[in-house]
Structure 1
Amino acid sequence: MITPKKRPMRPVALLTFAATLLATASPLWAQVQPPSNSRPMAVPIAQTIPDPQDTPWPGTIQLAIDASDTTTGAYRVTETIPLPAGLSKVTLLYPRWLPGNHGPDGPLAELVDVRFFVNGQPLTWTRDPVDVNAFHVDLPAGASEVTAKFIHTSPLRESEGRITMTREMLNLQWEKMSLYPAGHYVRQIKVKPTVTVPTNWQVFTALDGKSASGNVVTWSETDYETLVDSPIFAGLYADRHDLGKGVYLDIVADKPELLKIAPENLATYRSLVDEALLAYGSKHFDHYDLLLALTDRMGGIGLEHHRSSENQYEPRTLVDWAAGDWDRNVIAHEFSHSWDGKFRRPAKLWTPDYRVPMQDNLLWVYEGQNQFWGLVLAARSGTQSKDQVLGQFANYAGSFTQYPGREWRSVEDTTHDPIIANRKPKPFSSLARNEEYYTEGALIWLEAEAIIREGTGGKKGMDDFAKAFFGVKDGDWGVLTYDLPDVIQTLNAVYPYDWAGFIKTRIQTPGQPSPLGGIERGGYKLAWKEEPNPYDKARMAAAKYISLNHSIGLAIDNDGKITGSRWDSPAFKAGLVTGMQVISVNGKTYDQEAIKAAITAAKGTNAPIDLIVKRDDVVRPIRIEYHDGLRWPWLERAAPGTAPTGLDKLLAPRAPALKKPAAK
């Protein structure tokens, strides 16, 4: 049999064959060419919260807070809010962007058991899914007011946040336990506040019109902005001192004996008031309360307000005057803020309510100037000794000589840290940088002082800038905003110089040399010694740790736990990081003396420092190669002699009563 010859397929037949092939090979085809996946489109975010307008909210909010439960630390709030006619829904906001905090850190999670009522009947409400600080409350027809009831659960442990109530005292901050209606400048919202405190407690605040009935205290109607700016300190053991010029020192303490400040030491706070008024040449408050807590039970604080400030010292700081010298700078710093930060404020840091975001670029003025003035005024008044202040400047300057984060991050960029980091601890802060607009800012303003002093032959300095920039409009306790050109213009009016270039280099450009210009132009130099300066010594003793940052590159607490490791330090290169525990040093049980002795013994030799460390459940040896000995920063006069240098003159008293007679 002969097989017939095959003929080529026709086009129609070829297409039929291809379709059959595809149908039978679909699993293979799916792998080569997958089916089209679903691809959603974004749902637009609807604007459900009105922007604030400079118009009044009708009526007066009645805000009543029961702060008498010292066992649970809970603040129970009843807030009655009048309503405009015809509303079917009202949006109430919990403050988010808090003045002086420089970031969005209102503690919303501590606001619990939130309920709303009209005429005693409960209402339905929803939290805004985008702006979760907003509560949308449905209203019945004809509602004339809405009552909010909720609890602010103050932290009971440090791990939960800052403790604001103990058995002996409390620190009530209105923004933490109140709501306000959306759509209005907060200065246009009227509030009548009332607080119930424990029996026999004294209450201090800058609010006006105080009246009391038993343990229920009320104040005159005010606006919400002023209310938020007027916190309360209250306590069982309390005292008040008139410092003159309308300024008062209001103290609450853990124990009554802690209140016994010696007359000569109290006089330094009167001098602080005089020195601040001389430096700024004006007064931007009608009265002012320095609120001070002497405690290690309530959380620490230093927070500025226009007519008051919140401050905390270690419990014995006033009675053990010399030992507490290191701890007393906060009051000078926060008092200075009445001029710098409250009266004069960067335009983008002032906001019409507590929902509009703040922009922190000029915190190197707002806080850097106050870090500078806090030290200067403390030294001039005697609330801190000059040696202590020089030690703080040395601490700042020394830290920046070994600080790799300065290579990549400018001072200006650290002003965003309150928003970026929310002030939480960092694994390697020397590389990440922290909020150094405070400390490096202070050193840069110290250099500006020295430039002005040199350029004017000693006739002018930062006092002249303070008067020209912050001291304007004496008696005005509103808010006068500024921006960067205003700062540069005022500096040039005091002393013509390339201030724009100075700021661009020192503030806005990373990778700069250590900011020692102010120290060196001021007649001092940064020196290194094997003993800590007075500030570092006292601070370490109080906090029960040792900083070896400038030698092996560690901070270690008294139990041997590593609390800080400097990036690229000898210890870091050996593998020592935060959280490890040092068990032994060169064969001896760890303590501060043992680690110091080991570092000293290795100086100038080839001998290593041998540690046994524990991390989790692993114990192992670690060897540190370091041979330069113990190192702590000091400021020393650059040249011998006793004639006052520029820095000496800056820190010298200005008030006539404090000036010492010239030596004969």
Structure 2
Amino acid sequence: MTRRLPAAALALLLASAAPSAFAHSQAWTGPQAPAAPTPQNTPLALPRALPPIPAPTAEAYPGVIRYEVDATDVEKKIIRVRQTIPVQPGHLVLLYPKFLPGNHAATGPIQLIAGLDIQGGGARLDWLRDTIDPYAFHLDVPSGVSEITVDFQWLTQPDNSTWRVVMTPEMVNLQWEKALLYPAGYRSTGITFAPSIRLPQGWKYGVALETESHVDGLATFRPTDLYSLIDSPLFGGAHFQRIAIDPRRGSGEGAVHLNIVADAAKDLAPTPQQLQWFENLVGQTDLLFGARPYDRYDFLVAATARLGGIGLEHHRSSENSVPADFFTDWGKDLGAAGLLPHEFVHAWNGKRQRPADELTANHNIPTQNTLLWVYEGQTEYWGDVLTARAGLASKEDVLGIIAENAAFYDNQPGRAWRPLQDVNNHNLLGYRTTNPYASWMRGTGDYYRESALIWLDADTLIRESTGGKKSLDDFARGFFGGDDGSWAPRGYRFEDVVAALNAVHPHDWATFLRTRLDASGPDARAPLDGLARGGYRLVYTDSLTAAEKRVRDGWQRDFQYSLGFTLSSSNKLTGVRWGGRAFEADIGPGWELVAVNDTAASAEKLREAVSAAKGTDAPIRLLLKNGDRYRTVAFDYHDGLRYPRLERIQGTPDRLGDILAPRRR
């Protein structure tokens, strides 16, 4: 999933061998099927031998699957599903989606599916889950049965401790792929669904599907293929507002809309100025890319403290959760303001133009992640740039974001053993898994934020080398643009990225990229050359401006670049940096700060102590507790508080300022 993340020498593997679909003009009929079927069960482990799970072919599934969702049980948070599937006698395998779009890993929550009941010909049909692939269900369709009904429940969760909340008494976030089964042996583009959903009485909704009718809470949609259904989630709620924000098409056919659901009606209150900024966002993306990869676009926005957080891209829509007071207390959360631009850019980068190794035939064929540094990294870059160009944040705000990212990677020890490319490839092992030493292990955020620094490096190099005549904007228009209104996916490879960069400005781009992606070892450094070429240097300060405080949520508890940890709201030491001062003092996860210089602990007291010790010989004494153990640690540190900042290099072009400035028609 592409949630915008806050700050805190491998080859391209199979991507380099995949056939390129870049710049193909023919109609898209779905990704190519793999050469071999998915693994089958072992007959000795079962009471009877089962056929292998069939690989997808180009043949279309015969008939239309009627798909009915009941999302009215918001108190118990249960979504009920009935599917009516046309079938032929013989063996049938039904699949639950495993590799979900935008997640880059096997994240389908099949653990939450219960009550599976399959009926055909007036009788219950036995099914058997595959023992190798638990996302597959085998059954035998008797002679004379032409359709089956499949009933089950998606037991959505009451809190966000394990799975995110998708239902509250006020709203629902329906992701169709979490609550459906589909026949194996077919591409997702070759299976047609006729979907409908029943919502609580009076609720309204936003979705990129075409509504055929909406009567008494039952919404019926035009039949569509499985690929488009899964790519078209729904936000519905008791408090809903739909607003056109399209400077090109107004509110007419194919326009861009905000679809806002909220915990309370009072939170449905975007101001005219805020709507103008979102309209600017649409206009600035038009100027950047030159063509729209959609026939309509719906921002689905939940202003909520109750629904689980999300930021997820789709071709013609995106799922975005923001704080409940996002519109009524504007500017408090810059990460939320930058979420919508990030997910919007994905319509170009990640959806229509997509790494070839992520174009799979259906949602149970493994994806690959060798090019996430383009898919997510360049999207992160353009998301920040467009946030500034649209006016959703100021230049100073975005410079603060870049400074935070630069400092984080300039101080990240994990590069000593692990290149950025491996972080991309590793993602399949576990989606956004946590670990006690993130600075050493590295993680998901790196292919977003470190990759964004690589693209800043590339942008400033092009601008410097061409005297400002060319920029990464030209790459974006050439690589992601074209075919206005078309949203058929096109695959790209590493070689295609290099060729498109060379078309803008000839350079050894292959070496430029591979050096930064494959660098590891004690001498490997963060990709920060774009800062100096952009007219800035990374420095550290002991005080923050109002804008920097707004950018750095939790700055009050941030001691990463002084003592080497972050202090939680409950005074726990978290994010202990590998090799930092706390680490070298044998402090690891689980320690709680009890006192600072013999005074009851708080983040404020610790800031005061670090500031008071600056330029002196006095140690900073911390009393720590871990279970029933206590320790006193004295830090011989005297450089004061350190927060990152970008400082202008006088006499140099402000290329970063040029990058962040809005484009004019």
Q: Which residue of 2 is the match for residue 660 of structure 1?
A: none
The 5 A counterparts of 1:54-65 are 54-65=58-69
* 1:316 matches 2:325: yes
Runs of 4+ in 1 over 4 A off after TM superposition: 41-47, 532-536
The one of 345, 361, 365 aligned to 1:352: 361
Query: Using the alignment, how far apart are the partners of 1:167 and 1:583 within structure 2?
Result: 40
Query: Using the alignment, how far apart are the partners of 1:336 and 1:191 within structure 2?
Result: 28
Kept in 2, the 8 Å contact 1:540–1:547? The answer is: no
* 1:487 matches 2:500: no
Q: 3-state SS of the aligned residue for 2:537?
A: strand
Kept in 1, the 8 Å contact 2:623–2:632? The answer is: yes
* 1:111 matches 2:123: no
Q: Which residue of 2 is the match for residue 70 of structure 1?
A: 74
* 1:616 matches 2:622: no
Kept in 1, the 8 Å contact 2:105–2:430? The answer is: no
Q: Which residue of 1 is the match for residue 304 of structure 2?
A: 295
The 5 A counterparts of 1:127-206 are 127-206=129-208
Q: 3-state SS of the aligned residue for 1:126?
A: strand
* 1:575 matches 2:575: no
Deviates more, 1:391-400 or 1:119-128: 119-128
* 1:53 matches 2:63: no
Offset, 1:532:
4.2
CA, structure 1 residues 501+533, in 2 after alignment: closer, same or farther (shift >3 Å)? farther
The one-letter amino acid paired with 1:202 is K
The one of 77, 81, 85 aligned to 2:85: 81
CA, structure 1 residues 46+646, in 2 after alignment: closer, same or farther (shift >3 Å)? farther
Offset, 1:533:
6.1
The one-letter amino acid paired with 1:521 is R
CA, structure 1 residues 339+586, in 2 after alignment: closer, same or farther (shift >3 Å)? same
CA, structure 1 residues 546+116, in 2 after alignment: closer, same or farther (shift >3 Å)? same
Q: 3-state SS of the aligned residue for 1:155?
A: coil
Q: Which residue of 2 is the match for residue 407 of structure 1?
A: 416
The one-letter amino acid paired with 1:57 is Y
Aligned residue pairs: how many? 611
Kept in 2, the 8 Å contact 1:96–1:355? The answer is: yes
Kept in 1, the 8 Å contact 2:572–2:590? The answer is: yes
Kept in 2, the 8 Å contact 1:389–1:535? The answer is: no
Q: 3-state SS of the aligned residue for 2:72?
A: coil
Kept in 2, the 8 Å contact 1:522–1:646? The answer is: yes
Superposed CA RMSD: 1.9
The one-letter amino acid paired with 2:133 is D
Kept in 2, the 8 Å contact 1:379–1:652? The answer is: yes
Q: Which residue of 2 is the match for residue 456 of structure 1?
A: 466
Q: Which residue of 1 is the match for residue 508 of structure 2?
A: 498
Offset, 1:638:
1.1
Offset, 1:324:
3.1
* 1:631 matches 2:642: yes
Query: Using the alignment, how far apart are the partners of 2:378 and 2:330 within structure 1?
Result: 27
Query: Using the alignment, how far apart are the partners of 2:493 and 2:330 within structure 1?
Result: 40
Q: 3-state SS of the aligned residue for 2:462?
A: helix
Offset, 1:418:
2.5
Query: Using the alignment, how far apart are the partners of 1:342 and 1:430 within structure 2?
Result: 31
* 1:651 matches 2:655: no
The one of 235, 240, 249 aligned to 2:242: 240
Bigger Rg over Cα: 1
Q: 3-state SS of the aligned residue for 1:528?
A: strand
1:80-124 Cα distance to aligned partner (Å, 9 max, x none):
1111x3x22210000001110000111110111111111342111
Kept in 2, the 8 Å contact 1:329–1:374? The answer is: yes
Offset, 1:248:
0.4
The one of 563, 568, 577 aligned to 1:566: 577
Kept in 1, the 8 Å contact 2:206–2:300? The answer is: yes
Kept in 2, the 8 Å contact 1:586–1:610? The answer is: yes
Q: Which residue of 1 is the match for residue 379 of structure 2?
A: 370
Kept in 2, the 8 Å contact 1:392–1:535? The answer is: no
CA, structure 1 residues 46+413, in 2 after alignment: closer, same or farther (shift >3 Å)? farther
CA, structure 1 residues 42+118, in 2 after alignment: closer, same or farther (shift >3 Å)? closer
* 1:594 matches 2:605: yes
Kept in 2, the 8 Å contact 1:66–1:75? The answer is: yes
Kept in 2, the 8 Å contact 1:526–1:635? The answer is: yes
Kept in 2, the 8 Å contact 1:391–1:533? The answer is: no
Offset, 1:606:
2.9
Offset, 1:189:
0.2
Query: Using the alignment, how far apart are the partners of 1:545 and 1:196 within structure 2?
Result: 46
* 1:440 matches 2:444: no
TM-score by length of 2: 0.89
Kept in 2, the 8 Å contact 1:253–1:315? The answer is: yes
Q: 3-state SS of the aligned residue for 1:312?
A: strand
Query: Using the alignment, how far apart are the partners of 1:648 and 1:228 within structure 2?
Result: 39
Kept in 2, the 8 Å contact 1:548–1:631? The answer is: yes
Query: Using the alignment, how far apart are the partners of 1:238 and 1:624 within structure 2?
Result: 54
Query: Using the alignment, how far apart are the partners of 2:401 and 2:551 within structure 1?
Result: 10
Query: Using the alignment, how far apart are the partners of 1:62 and 1:341 within structure 2?
Result: 30
- Higher RCO structure (Cα 8 Å, ≥6 apart): 2
Query: Using the alignment, how far apart are the partners of 1:384 and 1:210 within structure 2?
Result: 39
Offset, 1:378:
0.6
* 1:520 matches 2:520: no
Query: Using the alignment, how far apart are the partners of 1:332 and 1:200 within structure 2?
Result: 31
Offset, 1:494:
0.3
Structure 1 gaps of 5+ residues are 1-40, 657-664
CA, structure 1 residues 243+603, in 2 after alignment: closer, same or farther (shift >3 Å)? same
Offset, 1:572:
1.4
CA, structure 1 residues 79+615, in 2 after alignment: closer, same or farther (shift >3 Å)? same
Kept in 2, the 8 Å contact 1:303–1:311? The answer is: yes
Query: Using the alignment, how far apart are the partners of 1:535 and 1:302 within structure 2?
Result: 24
Offset, 1:316:
1.2
Percent of residue pairs bearing the same amino acid type: 41
Query: Using the alignment, how far apart are the partners of 1:388 and 1:648 within structure 2?
Result: 12
Q: 3-state SS of the aligned residue for 2:286?
A: helix
Structure 2 gaps of 5+ residues are 1-41, 250-254
